[in-house]
Amino acid sequence: MNILFIADPLASFKIYKDTTFAMMREAQRRGHHISACEPQDLMWQRGTAVMAHVRDITLTGNATTWFEERGTRSTALQDFGAILMRKDPPFDSEYFYATHLLEQAERDGAKVFNKPRALRDHPEKLAIMEFPQFIGPTLVTRDPEDIKRFHAEHGDIILKPLDGMGGMGIFRVGPDGLNLGSITETLNRHGAQSLMVQKFLPEITLGDKRVLIIGGQPVPYSLARIPQGSEVRGNLAAGGKGVAQKLSARDREISEALGPILHSRGLLLAGVDVIGDCVTEINVTSPTCFQEIFDQTGFDVSAMFIDALEQALRT
């Protein structure tokens, strides 16, 4: 089978930790052929199927020159056995347009994972609203007065943009309310943009756990991203330390409740972020942490993912 990965530029991959690379490696190990492109390489014209300008590659096993290009071509997406949308956030206008092109490709007969419509329907910050039984006190607004009231009620809060990634733009405001107005103006752009406000969860000191759900089933280990020093963010991109650990009873309760629902909507892979007992985000664009979990526990997350992909193509 030929698998197309729609991702960021190959030259930007840090293969020692990149989850898309781990997927490619396992797919090639099983005899599948690998192709890659970026969202900007997608194209549609009336009277034709959705096309892409792709690079056919072979992984070399070399840490420096990690792939060889076998050639480039323009081909219809429906000609691939599977298409994996692995473009990193932000979910901007171009990402949105790419999901529409991919949905048209599905009409042509292409098999796309995660499903384009599901990507649009599950914004990573707002998807938690559907599961209030698993989240802490949370507010979505652009109104500064709403934020002041929320802060007065909860005292210690986290504010973050709805389109952020990797811990970008996350602020903590304590009981003294220092800089709350300035932070609100920065994030809501003087009332032009909505943001999310959540009660600060002190369990963040134990880690912001990434619980991976593949084919509706939880990976048995999470990766706890633990803040370092005076940092409040556990994100690996913000310097957090990743520590793999077995799922807690609460982690399993959450993943067993959310997993079948997300899977039924076409989300082959989701990353549920959990602090303490509370879900804080549901990541669906390009969830990561495969290699960190494998390196620390020996559990082969990539194999579980390709198993699920192959199963999905048989049904």
- Residue 75's pLDDT is 97
Same domain, 175 and 213: no
CA distance 193 to 164: 13
Residue 279 belongs to a domain:
yes
Provide the phi-psi class of 244: left if phi over 0, else alpha when psi is between -120 and 50, else beta.
beta
Same domain, 177 and 216: no
Which residue has better confidence, 232 or 136?
Answer: 136
CA distance 224 to 207: 5
Residue 200: is its pLDDT beyond 90?
yes
**Residue 249's CB: how many other CB atoms inside 10 A?**
8
Place of tokens 């690079």: 55
- Residue 167's pLDDT is 77
Q: Tell me phi and psi for residue 4, to 5 degrees.
A: -100, 125
Same domain, 210 and 285: yes
Nearest-10 crossing angle of helices 144-154, 180-188: 140
Same domain, 176 and 213: no
Residue 120 belongs to a domain:
no
Range of the domain at 293: 126-130+203-314
The catalytic residue positions are: 125, 160, 210, 225, 233, 273, 281, 283
For residue 233, the Cα-to-chain-centroid distance in whole angstroms is 17
Q: What six digits make up the tokens of 49? A: 């199927």
Q: What is the band of 44 on the pLDDT scale with cuts at 50, 70, 90? A: very high
Q: Which of 63-67, 166-170, 310-314 has the lowest mean pLDDT?
A: 166-170
- Residue 36's pLDDT is 98
Residues in the chain: 315
At which of 153, 181, 200 does a domain end? 200
Mean pLDDT of the chain: 96
Residue 40 belongs to a domain:
yes
Same domain, 274 and 256: yes
Strand partners, 269: 214
- At residue 231, what is the residue type? E
- Residue 237's pLDDT is 73
Cβ proximity of 115 and 263 under 8 Å: no
Cβ proximity of 301 and 294 under 8 Å: yes
Residue 148 is part of a domain; what is its CATH number?
3.30.1490.20
Cβ proximity of 91 and 163 under 8 Å: yes
- Residue 229's pLDDT is 79
Query: How many domains does the structure of the chain reveal?
Result: 3
Strand partners, 203: none
CA distance 65 to 61: 8
Provide the phi-psi class of 206: left if phi over 0, else alpha when psi is between -120 and 50, else beta.
alpha
Same domain, 250 and 183: no
Residue 296 belongs to a domain:
yes
Residue 245 belongs to a domain:
yes
**Residue 309's CB: how many other CB atoms inside 10 A?**
25
- Residue 65's pLDDT is 96
Q: Tell me phi and psi for residue 198, to 5 degrees.
A: -135, 150
Strand partners, 69: 57
For residue 307, the Cα-to-chain-centroid distance in whole angstroms is 19
Same domain, 242 and 308: yes
Distances (CA, A) of 78 to 54, 81, 156: 13, 8, 50
Per-residue pLDDT tens digits for 251-262: 999 999 999 999
Per-residue pLDDT tens digits for 210-237: 999 999 999 999 999 999 877 777 777 7
- Residue 235's pLDDT is 77
Place of tokens 């056995």: 81
Same domain, 233 and 196: no
Residue 121: is its pLDDT beyond 90?
yes
Cβ proximity of 6 and 86 under 8 Å: yes
Same domain, 253 and 296: yes
Q: Tell me phi and psi for residue 130, to 5 degrees.
A: -70, -15
Residue 243 is part of a domain; what is its CATH number?
3.30.470.20
Residue 77 is part of a domain; what is its CATH number?
3.40.50.20
Cis peptide before 90 (omega within 30 of 0): yes
Residue 105 belongs to a domain:
yes
